[in-house]
Structure 1
Amino acid sequence: MDLFSHALGALLRAVSELSDDDFAKPSGCEGWLVRDLVCHFVIDAQDVLITLVTPTADPVTHDSVSYWKVSSSVADDPLAALTVRLAAAYGEPWMLKHHVDDVGQAALRAAQLADPTLKVSTQDMVLCTSGYLGAYVWEWTLHHLDLVMHVDVAGPPASSLARCREMLEQIAGAFPATWTDTDVLLVGTGRRAPTEAERAELGDLAIPFVLG
């Protein structure tokens, strides 16, 4: 629960530090500018607010790790093109910054007030609130790395990076202990190709593209 707040709070601060020119720069998400990625944060925060008020009595089916699907492409995401069009509709960067802060701060407050044992339903899955918010540590942190790929603002907290590395290694297996958490996440999710030396260290370890 605390990591959710740390990860989202850091992301919102990073967005607040963006200059107008930064919004037109590429992000770490293929095909998306920074403005498109920030618009995606609005949608994410709205999803958190909706899910936290969607309780269920059904049994838990997923946790913070199994919530995520492993794939090799984001091309089939039907919301990707919609997000780009929606981001362009904001017109001025300050409008988008205001909206993401508005719904992002609401998501922070809702998470802090939530009962961690309450079961919630989303995308045909049932999770404890603590598990759902734990899953979003991955979302905020990976997309925070995407945000700072080509702009000069602060990156994700070390605690969030470490937790996301743990989550990834539960799916893919252990990465070399000498690798930084950031390198593990960038390479392990396909955001950066491994160097020849890194590939040799990986050996037979399969590298999935775990979507955020």
Structure 2
Amino acid sequence: MDLFSQSWSALRAAVGGLREEDFARPSGCTGWLVRDLVCHLVIDAQDVLITLATPADGEPTRDAVTYWEVSDTPPRGDDPLDALTVRLAAAYEDPGLLMFHLDDVGSAAGRAALLADPALRVGTRGEILTVADYLSAYVMEWTLHHLDLIAYLPDPEQPPAEGLARSREVLERIAGAAFPASFSDADALLVGTGRRSPTETERSELGDLAATLPLRLG
């Protein structure tokens, strides 16, 4: 839960450091500008608040690793929900309003996470998780989107090292194999999730794992 707070705080701080012109830059998410990604983070924060306020009965059906589903479909940026996010982001017009909304809702999500009982079971997407596993899964969400946010920014501030390491560990468990030690945690995440293509050297180092990539998480 501490890692959730650390990763989320770092991501929000990175958004807070954006200049107005940065919102019109592309992000690491296919088809999205930085402003679209920031709008998505507002929705993510709302999802955290909703889930933490949705207690569930029954045994957990997912954990921090099985929370993630791997899709065979490459993102194109024209999914109906993605398209709605783009329209919502454009409706803000002033990036300052978007940043204010993220700070407002994001702060509340951060506080709710700190106050939540880790053993409580909550429901989301038709599944049941403990709060601890749900928030652990979101470390990956925040870390990947931090990398998306800074993909085309000059002199970007990287995500926390602990969040990168944990996210790599989770991705390796999803893949059922470890990435080569020569890969940095960030490179393992970027290549592993298809955010960039591996170089010829990296592909050679990946060996049989290369055939299973990318892992498109949803």
Which TM-score applies when normalising by structure 2?
A: 0.95
Find the counterpart in structure 1 of residue 168 from structure 2: 165
For 1:193 and 1:57, the matched residues in 2 are separated by 42
For 2:214 and 2:165, the matched residues in 1 are separated by 18
For 1:77 and 1:133, the matched residues in 2 are separated by 26
Find the counterpart in structure 1 of residue 208 from structure 2: 204
TM-superposed CA distance for 1:147, in Å, is 0.2
Q: Identity across aligned pairs (percent)?
A: 63
For 1:163 and 1:77, the matched residues in 2 are separated by 29
Q: Mark the CA change 1:77 to 1:125 in structure 2 (over 3 Å): closer, same or farther.
A: farther
Query: Counterparts of 1:1-212 in structure 2 under 5 Å?
Result: 1-72=1-72, 73-75=74-76, 77-152=79-154, 153-172=156-175, 173-205=177-209, 206-211=212-217
TM-superposed CA distance for 1:178, in Å, is 1.7
RMSD of aligned alpha carbons:
1.1
- Runs of 4+ in structure 1 over 4 Å off: none
SS of 1:203's equivalent in the other structure is: helix
For 1:155 and 1:95, the matched residues in 2 are separated by 25
For 2:216 and 2:129, the matched residues in 1 are separated by 19
For 2:217 and 2:105, the matched residues in 1 are separated by 22
SS of 2:208's equivalent in the other structure is: coil
For 1:43 and 1:74, the matched residues in 2 are separated by 18
* AA of the residue aligned to 2:162: S
For 1:175 and 1:134, the matched residues in 2 are separated by 21
TM-superposed CA distance for 1:122, in Å, is 0.4
TM-superposed CA distance for 1:211, in Å, is 2.3
**Does the aligned pair in 2 maintain the 1:39–1:87 contact within 8 Å?**
yes
Structure 2 unaligned spans of 5+: none
Q: Deviations over 1:19-65 (max 9, x none)?
A: 00000000000110000000000000000000000001121000011
**Does the aligned pair in 2 maintain the 1:70–1:208 contact within 8 Å?**
no
Count matched residues.
212
Q: Deviations over 1:64-89 (max 9, x none)?
A: 11011101323474310000000000
For 1:155 and 1:100, the matched residues in 2 are separated by 20
